[in-house]
Structure 1
Amino acid sequence: MAQAADPTDHTELELSIGAPAHGGHFVARHEGRVVFVRHALPGELVRVRITDGGADSGFWRADTVEVLEASPHRVGHPWDRADALLAAKRHRPAVGGAEFGHIELAEQRRLKATVFEEQLQRLARVERQVVVEAADENDDGGLGWRTRAAFAVDKSGHLAMHAHRSDELVPVTEMPLAVAAINELRLWEADLNQVSRVEVAAPANGSAPLVLLVPEPNASPRRMAAVAAAIDPSASVAVWEPEERKLTRLKGRTWVAETCGEHQYRVTGDGFWQIHRSAPQVLTEAVMAGVRPQPGERVADLYAGAGLFTAPLAEAVGVTGTVLSVEGSRGTSRDARKNLHDAPQVTIVQGKVEKALRSQNGLDAVVLDPPRAGAGRTVVHLLHDQRPRVVGYVSCDPASFARDLGYFQALGWELKTLRVFDLYPNTHHMESFAELVPPRA
């Protein structure tokens, strides 16, 4: 019997690659054991290095280090720091975050559709053909779409990113998935000593970007001010201390100005906003078409963020209707209050969705955009009790969505419309919108 692989000895194997799996991996088998392989493609024969797993592990993880028989859908990776094959030749890790960069864009979308279909079938017992839609006509090869980016800082005080599932840092001098405004700041040239992390937001509307400096525990205010002074004057800079939820302005302002359609939004600090440059418009159009809010209706926007969906919902129901906006983050909820101050039909609630739903008595329509973990059984049951005519579910994770869909279906609900969008090109992630309708009376 072959000696079992140990993650500490970097065992290498030749494997034939099978179907894609949720999470950016592809399934292979070695002596009956499942191996989840990154940076491969179905049908390929590759050499991999085991990165996680031992003799007693239920499965192993591996990275592709050499392609012996390539798929016709394999292309050159657009970012050398994320290119696993190049990284293996240089005996260094690849950064995470562009794990599908070796796959032609149309094939990425076909693979994502396969994964979504598999999650629906496995977790919700739904057989449904899925088409993954491009976010906009000009996809630029899946580059230049991120309006948000987060970086680590290495021991030399320079910009870096983490390798996948690792604390190891890889220096970076570009971020090809990011919009030009982020790269034009040239933050990799800055001396970032005493900074542990950098987060950047650059609105797609061209307004001023915001750079957040997350300081090391013993960083001095004087040092943070010096870092801010060296950053491009077009950017605002603030210090963000996540544990204390404390935001300190260094120059410019502590928020960015976002736009979607005719609506303007401010998003403070690390507040949530859709990452893809076209995502706010794409998702808002999908939500409004699926939910079809009517004048005078009572609508809820759950996990509402800074009010991306709340504003057009309020406009649709008019002053004779009401919109309940529920958001857990205090800072983001404050943004929603500012963004919707001139909409008297909107009630802003900062707190848990479950508590807010228990205080309601009959909603006509609901929009929910939960975090990656999904809404969960309790929220689904509370929504069912409200008897809305429609629920519009925005999701960034097919597994949690499929699980929640199963909860809805157990209560008699039906999946009517499903749209899936490629809002994270060159990665395995995707976004979806579902129109759910209640059981007929």
Structure 2
Amino acid sequence: MPVPRRRSTRQATRSRQPRGRSRVGERFEAEVGPIAHGGHCVVRLLQTAGQQESRVVFVRHALPGERVVVEITEGTEGDRFWRGDAVEVLVPSPDRVVAPCLVAGPGLCGGCDFQHVTPAAQRRLKADVVREQLHRLAGLDLEVEVEAVPGDVDGLRWRTRQRYVELPDGRRGMRKHRSHDVVPVDDCLLEAPEGPSCSVLGRDFSVGRGGFWQVHPGAPQVLVETVLAMLRPEPGEAALDLYAGVGLFAAFLLDAVGETGHVVAVEADGSACEHAGVNLGIGAFVEHGPVDEVLERGLDRPFDLVVLDPPREGAKRHVVEQVVARTPRAVAYVACDPAALARDIAIFAEHGYTVQDLRAFDLFPMTHHVECVALLGFSR
């Protein structure tokens, strides 16, 4: 079954003109620095002859504090930074473990970033990334804890939808990191034994084949419960569910605001809108179209509550400003990328909306991805 379109994590290698001699394949011994957004750690190579400052290398398969041998996988002399793999660990971190997957590691399957890290340490690393992005991009200093979610087995067997590359010999495989090359994979340890269950808190949802639905089996319930706990919807309130998909949040908001309330779901995908209409039934309105365009041409009355669940690149300025123009008392922002979340939080802050609460969930174990839910409220 296909991977959900809105949470796709594949990163195509950009073609670019080389700037000087290639350093690919060269090896350096180095101390590993902090974790960075994207599943790698920062390594600074010491100055060399003719070089005025240390070279930054983004290194996979390493952990902060380790001493490793780094092999350069991308980079030329003129590049601002290089990429590399830790191909030998000289001084390991206490958080390092043997990867449970046989095809995880340098030069192998690129689907996982943290197979070499204990699950608890993975969550600490993700918390560090969320904290750093919020500080750097939004000027916030918040305590962040990434919470485990029921539905996986020590970080494995959680992906209810998986996509493979079909090989000529009939086998299947996965691509290497930032490459079109394929590694044969007989058994992906992230793949769940069963497909997704589209039932949440006793409510069944209609979802089209290939339509978006959270891939971690525990994700829909924990996200719904978190959004409702943050927003505290009251009977009679008006709620706006943006990037609504098949109406997961809108359905529970509709129950909460009751017959005297009002819920509008906005979604760009036509098929998802059709399913949202089935899931929501009478009492909710489903608007089909890109969120920015729908908000620009209508829905210009006040709303008490807003749920934002944008794609990986975030809602961005135009949508954020359209949201604050509706003067909601509370906004629940569901984000799968902490950098995009931080950038949008900074825009909200320009209009007097600040972070009242933040929770983070490990919905993508063994990878660098993390899901956050932020509550924003008007504070001036």
Question: What TM-score results when the alignment is normalised by the length of structure 2?
Answer: 0.90
SS at match of 1:428: coil
- The answer to whether 1:110 aligns with 2:132 is no
Percent of paired sites with the same residue: 46
CA distance in 2, matches of 1:157, 1:348: 43
Deviations 1:7-48 (A, max 9, x none): 5x4112212100000000100011301000001001111112
- The answer to whether 1:351 aligns with 2:293 is no
Higher relative contact order (CA 8 A, sep 6+): 2
CA contact (8 A) 1:24 1:100 kept: yes
Matching residue within 15, 26, 31 for 1:16: 31
Equivalences for residues 45-56 of structure 1 within 5 A: 45-56=67-78
TM superposition shift of 1:139: 4.5
- State the number of aligned residues: 352
CA contact (8 A) 1:420 1:431 kept: yes
SS at match of 2:206: strand
Q: 2:162 maps to which residue?
A: 149
SS at match of 2:331: strand
CA distance in 2, matches of 1:154, 1:437: 51
Question: What TM-score results when the alignment is normalised by the length of structure 1?
Answer: 0.78
Aligned amino acid, residue 63 of structure 1: D
CA contact (8 A) 2:149 2:361 kept: yes
TM superposition shift of 1:5: 6.5
CA distance in 2, matches of 1:350, 1:157: 40
Q: 2:349 maps to which residue?
A: 409
TM superposition shift of 1:155: 3.0
Aligned amino acid, residue 374 of structure 1: G
CA distance in 2, matches of 1:44, 1:339: 50
Aligned amino acid, residue 408 of structure 1: F
- The answer to whether 1:378 aligns with 2:314 is no
- The answer to whether 1:6 aligns with 2:6 is no
Aligned amino acid, residue 269 of structure 2: S
CA contact (8 A) 1:302 1:366 kept: yes
Q: 1:140 maps to which residue?
A: 153
Deviations 1:34-93 (A, max 9, x none): 000001001111112111110110100001111111111100101111233xxxxxxxx2
Matching residue within 353, 360, 370 for 1:420: 360
Q: 2:9 maps to which residue?
A: none
Moved >6 Å (runs of 4+): none
* Structure 2 segments unaligned to the other structure (5+ residues): 1-19, 48-53
TM superposition shift of 1:156: 2.6
Matching residue within 140, 155, 160 for 2:173: 160
Taking only aligned residues, the RMSD between alpha carbons, in angstroms, comes to: 1.3
Aligned amino acid, residue 185 of structure 2: V
Matching residue within 95, 100, 117 for 1:78: 100
- The answer to whether 1:277 aligns with 2:277 is no
TM superposition shift of 1:394: 0.3
CA distance in 1, matches of 2:104, 2:246: 32
CA contact (8 A) 1:5 1:50 kept: no
Deviations 1:162-198 (A, max 9, x none): 00000000111011111113xxxxxxxxxxxxxxxxx
